[in-house]
Amino acid sequence: MSLLIGARTEELRALTWAHVDLDGQPDADPSIPPSIMVWRSVRIGGDTKTEKSRRTLALPRLCVVALRGHCERQALARKKAGDLWQENDLVFASKHGTELDAANVRRAFRVILKKTDLNENDWTPREMRHSFVSLLSDSGMALENICRLVGHKGTVVTEKVYRKQLRPMLLEGVKAMDQIFPQA
């Protein structure tokens, strides 16, 4: 989720199913895509990091598919836990329905990394959010739009801390000049 929508892990750990819409309203005019409402965090008091961090994010198809499968697996976990399950409506919960802490997330992330060619010492869950910013930037999305998606007040933190330029060559100038002075 962090890689595909840029949400902070602290926001996703607090996400409830009541704040997830996997269907949207495709027949509305204009249509409303599936989305999540990032309105809470695991921070003290449950508030998001900043006021700008409260946002509703449309979900890419891959997220919708993953969340539907996750919902089914969570239903099985709830059934298996029986009386030990504590219903908190959390999307990402422990095997007993309780809130995950940062260590739970890091541990689960390392398990996933071990199944890949990536070095588990080089990656943390936070890197997914940084990758989100870098990938969008490299695709040509305006920094102002990326900053809104990740819930930053302005572009400075997005650009200086999160964005790692994947394509070091600046292409905007040549594209503009080729359009202004097309070949004959």
Residues 64/4, Cβ–Cβ less than 8 Å: no
* Residue in 13, 130, 162, 163 annotated catalytic: 162
Residue 37: strand pairing partners = 56
- Identity of the residue numbered 75: A
Decide if 8 is catalytic. Answer: yes
Decide if 162 is catalytic. Answer: yes
- Tokens standing for residue 99: 């809130």
Decide if 110 is catalytic. Answer: no
**DSSP class of residue 143?**
H
**DSSP class of residue 82?**
G
- Tokens standing for residue 37: 């409402």
* Residue in 13, 40, 55, 129 annotated catalytic: 129
* Residue in 40, 55, 152, 163 annotated catalytic: 152
Q: What is the CA radius of gyration of the chain?
A: 19
* Residue in 49, 52, 96, 110 annotated catalytic: 49
Separation of alpha carbons 5 and 153, rounded Å: 17
Residues 138/169, Cβ–Cβ less than 8 Å: no
- Show which residues are catalytic: 8, 49, 129, 152, 162
